[in-house]
Amino acid sequence: MLLNPRYEIIHSYFNAWISRDFTHIDDYFTENCTYRECYGPVYDNLNQIKQWITDTYQTQTVLAWDIHNIETTDQSNIIVTWTFHATTDQSNDLFDGISMISFNQNKMHEVIEYACKHETYHPYQQ
């Protein structure tokens, strides 16, 4: 069990994608939240997030969404580093990312994701 209730919400939300159980989605987000995915889409409220989840659920299976670090930056903001792995009929996606999450009354109010390639290399390593 985590001590910070906001960390619990983040872990529960990430795990919901793996378990495909979104029954507690109302506990994770404020009604007027904003969610910006790392590849461009923006969802402007909880109803749009629910629609996105419903649509994505039909085509994507999340195999892992591993949290590496969670750090509180101030009273309402948290930075999460993670690795995401999912499959669809057309792709196998594996990438690393960072989420900047703002909270309002212990619910996520704004999420902004950034992504980078999972596979790295060291061009100048000898």
Mean pLDDT over 27-50 rounds to 97
Which pLDDT does position 11 carry in this prediction?
Answer: 97
Portion of the chain with pLDDT greater than 70, in percent: 98
Say which residue the tokens 């979104």 belong to.
Answer: 22
Which pLDDT does position 105 carry in this prediction?
Answer: 87
Helices (H), 21-111: 25-28, 46-59
Mean pLDDT over 3-16 rounds to 94
Q: C-alpha distances in angstroms, 82 versus 46, 47, 99, 109, 117?
A: 23, 25, 8, 19, 12
Which pLDDT does position 1 carry in this prediction?
Answer: 53
Portion of the chain with pLDDT greater than 90, in percent: 94
Which pLDDT does position 90 carry in this prediction?
Answer: 92
Which pLDDT does position 35 carry in this prediction?
Answer: 98
Mean pLDDT over 29-37 rounds to 98
Which pLDDT does position 6 carry in this prediction?
Answer: 95
